[in-house]
Structure 1
Amino acid sequence: MTFILFCLFVALNFPSQSLQQTKNPITDFCRRFGHQTAVIDRKLYIDGGLVNWNPISQNPLNYTNTWLLYNDLDSTGSAGGMPQIYSNLTKNNTVPSVSGGILWADDVNKVFYQYGGEYQTSPETFAFWAYDTLLNQWNLTSGVPPGIERVSWGAGATINDLGYGFYYGGWLNAQNTPGWGGLPMATSSLIKYDMNANAWTNNTGPDNTGRAEGVMVYLPASDGGLLVYFGGIEDPYKNGTIVGANMSNIHVFDVASSKWYAQNATGEIPDMRRKFCAGATWAADHSSYNIYLYGGQGINNITGFDDAYILSLPSFTWIKVYPSSGEGSSPHGLSSCNVIDNSQMLVIGGYFAENQNCDSPDVWGTHNMNLGEDGPENALWDKYYPNITKYLVPTPVISAVGGG
């Protein structure tokens, strides 16, 4: 009987496996979501996540992205004016392809580290992998100490100047932890990885509440910088009964002192959301730090969001910048946001719950925010321009908080 069931499993899965092997991640692209990204030396790397193939009506399944891709940030090779994408990098099947993790980028040594994430099927034992961008080579790092677990859909950030990677909260579940038999559990720890010393630290969060599916960004303020966290869900009773995090509640971690602070934001408060993305930039004189948020999924019965907000610090003011009124027409979450040269933010991919349309296949699901709205279109959404490398504080921020 066991042999018969095994043969049936192979028969049912062989068509999907064969289809995946025949697809080209560039020419057959339809949609991608849940992936991890990192920027090193003018390349935006895309790892893992899920993909749909074109036409999606004939390929309705979500496939694991097993390729390591990158966008060339010095080119706009597509007709849609976005960075050209390539799929010629090395990645064999021993390296995990997961969703909801992070890539910590080490700009000095030209390496990124793959942490966290979950599998579509049964998870493997946690192994910590690094990709050497100069050698086009994946390397398995030394063992991870006890107490450091693979979690997924937490919030991660990298501090390039210090060589630190951080990851706050996230889920423990049957897709990331072998042998997990209980309900998914949101964690409350802040994981720190020192890339130079190859050392891990398991720090406490702002409280004991489990959190996941929010975002965390780094700001070069204070002595050692700040980590700013908001959004997502909370698991206050540690039993899987989740509630949405109020978007006016901002958690700030001071890196130098390892202390958490709470701050209440005002202004045009975004609706509660999960699995959205965000990126940070700042004025040249550091008079304001502006965190750009895009999209996300709803908490309960709300499908999702197609909108953009700015959280401006130090005033902690929320400013809605897209659309000018009402709601956007294509709500989606599970996208990635990467700020390039402090001036533009590439928003890649997303899961569209309300339709089965492909996500701009001519530009491989790549969209660009001109953060200073100072491009040829004088608009937030614009083509990508490699020569725009300076951030000008845009009118919506000046109108709300002052400055110039």
Structure 2
Amino acid sequence: MRRKVVEEWENKYTWNSFHDLNNLTQGTLEAWPVLNINLNKDPNVIPTVEGGVLWGDSLNKTFYVFGGAITAGLPGEFHLFGYDIINDRWWDFGAPKTTWLNIPYYGAGVGVSQTGEGYYYGGWISNTSMQGWTNPPTMSSSLYKYQYDQNRFTLANSPTDNLARAEGTMVWIPAGDNSGMFVYLGGIYGLSNGTTAAQPMNEILVYDPGSNEWFTQTATGQVPPNRRRHCADVAWAPDQSSYNIYVWGGLGVPPPVTNFTAYSDIYVLTLPSFTWVKLWPDHNTNASYQSGHYSSTCNMVKSQSQMIVIGGKYPDNPDICDLADGYWAEHNLWTGTLNNQGDNGTYWALYNPNVTTNVIPDDVYNVTGGTKNGGATLLAPKSGWDQGNAAGLGSLLMRKPTFTRQAIRGGPTSSPTNTTTPTSPPSPPSPHKLSAGAIAGIAIGGAAALILIFVAWCVIGMRLWKKRQEHRRQSQVTQLTQGSSPYPGYGPSTMSPLSVPEQWAPGPGGSPVPGSPVPVSPPPIELPAGQQRWNNKP
């Protein structure tokens, strides 16, 4: 019965949803952001995809859906869709007016609210992502830029090696000139004989949009094993003296050959020193756990103090369920250790909505210098810059850009730092309004993998959402039922977790202890291979 419930959950529900980061669940499993599934959607208009990106625009309270392999919906001509969070409606921007834009999936995508731009690098192209594609699945070497306010795609420069890459990650940092900079790491690249190889985790690619130039820099320290389909997000020191990229999980890619198909560890790449630091488990060892995840998402929230890891698949045993199914298979990592203490050694712990600052953990500032509040003194790689990088990359990383972009549509009065909101914003550029039932094809569900969910939007305008939707909400923890939603057939406005027979907390060695209290949310690990699961079975 449990297996059937999980399968129906994964196959049926392709919600456009959001976590309310200020409103927590109550009941047996407490203190997790409520998941709401009542947003506007129509599966006959917008396809469900995997491996795409949501380009966020926190200034205009909008996101855009780009790329992805179609898993359900309409496998027709690609259209760019945007979602208006405040008004719960979708815009169809039509097919891009270009001849060079190939629609990828499992590339590296980043949206930047401060500049109003979305970027997508690499990925796979096949007939599941692009209408009319007749070749076998092919990796891309292209970097696409989309300008939100102009509704315009641009083909930017690719790395000078012109290698096709996929399944890596890319983050944006507010360094350099007034466009910021992008850091790409991991994944795979294509070889001339048709095979693939690992993009080494110690070979970091950095892109500067201002000069349209790429740099390659060698990273040192506790370099993680090569991996792909990992997730990553970035938090910077309060004084921006260091930029710290948190990397979670992923599929292994030899070399080296390890005992793990996938990983369940956390590493940090700290810039500008380009040093890898291992946070968990066991800090400076090579330890990991069996039954690691891949294809999860990493989402910085609450002033970058916490990173919520969502979803993922288990390649060693695809039939197992995440032990945190009471939290929708999600986990919370404190970037500066629990409660921003910086040095207590606890990274995985309960989410706290009442945090407005972040700090640096001692695992990192013991390497970079300074304290938990910044003041890094290691401002260049210990082994020196790679050839030619000192004057270019090194100089850019020392600069702090300013952002003056203005909103072009209405929304809450609050806006990101260094931006302004005009009192009478114009309409967005010539989109076609969708019907009232239009939705996103954003597939999430319990412990299902390959999800597209933009947790950060819970930070944006949730007070307005709450006021507008409170009369439609039922209790915070309630089972899905038909007919109780303002959108018939899609369940109530607040979704409960899959029911679980017992709560659990980590016991000695990380094993679950049935019936234990839950002082912290469980770390994202499964039982070691061969160990019997308790009665919370799929």
Q: TM-score, normalised by structure 1?
A: 0.82
Establish whether residue 317 from structure 1 lines up as the match of residue 275 from structure 2.
Answer: yes
The aligned counterpart of 1:96 is 47
Larger radius of gyration: 2
Match of 2:62 among 111, 122, 130: 111
Q: Distance in 1 between matches of 2:55 and 2:111?
A: 6
SS at 2:326 equivalent:
helix
The aligned counterpart of 1:372 is 336
Mapping of 1:108-257 within 5 angstroms?
108-120=59-71, 123-146=75-98, 147-206=100-159, 207-224=161-178, 225-237=180-192, 240-257=194-211
The aligned counterpart of 1:22 is none
1:247-290 Cα deviation digits (max 9, x unpaired): 00100011221111111000011111110100101111111110
The aligned counterpart of 2:219 is 265
Name the amino acid aligned to 1:247: M
Mapping of 1:270-281 within 5 angstroms?
270-281=224-235
The aligned counterpart of 2:475 is none
Q: Is the 8 A contact 2:338 2:349 kept in 1?
A: no
Q: Is the 8 A contact 1:159 1:218 kept in 2?
A: yes
Match of 2:16 among 56, 60, 68: 68
Q: Is the 8 A contact 2:117 2:148 kept in 1?
A: yes
1:5-26 Cα deviation digits (max 9, x unpaired): xxxxxxxxxxxxxxxxxxxxxx
Name the amino acid aligned to 1:105: G
Aligned length: 350
Q: Distance in 2 between matches of 1:391 and 1:397?
A: 14
Identity %: 39
Q: Distance in 2 between matches of 1:240 and 1:344?
A: 40
1:84-111 Cα deviation digits (max 9, x unpaired): 1111111101112100000011112211
The alpha carbon displacement at 1:135 in A equals 1.2
- Show structure 2 runs of 5+ residues with no match: 372-538
SS at 1:74 equivalent:
strand
Q: Is the 8 A contact 1:64 1:98 kept in 2?
A: no
The alpha carbon displacement at 1:292 in A equals 0.3
Q: TM-score, normalised by structure 2?
A: 0.62
The aligned counterpart of 2:321 is 358
Q: Is the 8 A contact 1:154 1:212 kept in 2?
A: yes
Q: Is the 8 A contact 2:340 2:359 kept in 1?
A: no
SS at 2:264 equivalent:
strand
Match of 2:250 among 276, 293, 296: 296
Establish whether residue 345 from structure 1 lines up as the match of residue 307 from structure 2.
Answer: yes
- Evaluate the alpha carbon distance shift between residue 251 and residue 64 of structure 1 in structure 2; reply closer, same or farther with a 3 A threshold: farther
SS at 1:385 equivalent:
coil
The aligned counterpart of 2:493 is none
SS at 2:33 equivalent:
coil
Q: Is the 8 A contact 2:126 2:137 kept in 1?
A: yes
Q: Is the 8 A contact 2:204 2:216 kept in 1?
A: yes
SS at 2:277 equivalent:
strand
Q: Distance in 2 between matches of 1:232 and 1:64?
A: 31
- Evaluate the alpha carbon distance shift between residue 376 and residue 202 of structure 1 in structure 2; reply closer, same or farther with a 3 A threshold: closer
1:211-253 Cα deviation digits (max 9, x unpaired): 000000000011121100010010132x641111100010001
Q: Is the 8 A contact 2:119 2:144 kept in 1?
A: yes
The alpha carbon displacement at 1:59 in A equals 5.2
Q: Is the 8 A contact 1:266 1:316 kept in 2?
A: yes
Q: Distance in 1 between matches of 2:340 and 2:269?
A: 25
* Larger RCO, structures 1/2 (Cα 8 Å, 6+ apart): 2
Higher strand share: 1
- Evaluate the alpha carbon distance shift between residue 58 and residue 286 of structure 1 in structure 2; reply closer, same or farther with a 3 A threshold: closer
Q: Distance in 1 between matches of 2:261 and 2:13?
A: 24
- Show structure 1 runs of 5+ residues with no match: 1-53
- Evaluate the alpha carbon distance shift between residue 214 and residue 376 of structure 1 in structure 2; reply closer, same or farther with a 3 A threshold: closer
Q: Is the 8 A contact 1:150 1:177 kept in 2?
A: yes
The alpha carbon displacement at 1:389 in A equals 2.2
The alpha carbon displacement at 1:299 in A equals 2.5
The alpha carbon displacement at 1:357 in A equals 2.6
- Evaluate the alpha carbon distance shift between residue 384 and residue 247 of structure 1 in structure 2; reply closer, same or farther with a 3 A threshold: same
Q: Is the 8 A contact 1:65 1:97 kept in 2?
A: no
Match of 1:332 among 293, 318, 324: 293
The alpha carbon displacement at 1:65 in A equals 4.7
The aligned counterpart of 1:5 is none
SS at 1:119 equivalent:
strand
The alpha carbon displacement at 1:328 in A equals 2.1
Q: Is the 8 A contact 1:66 1:91 kept in 2?
A: no
The alpha carbon displacement at 1:142 in A equals 3.7
Q: Is the 8 A contact 2:55 2:111 kept in 1?
A: yes
Name the amino acid aligned to 1:230: L
Q: Is the 8 A contact 1:80 1:383 kept in 2?
A: no
The aligned counterpart of 2:533 is none
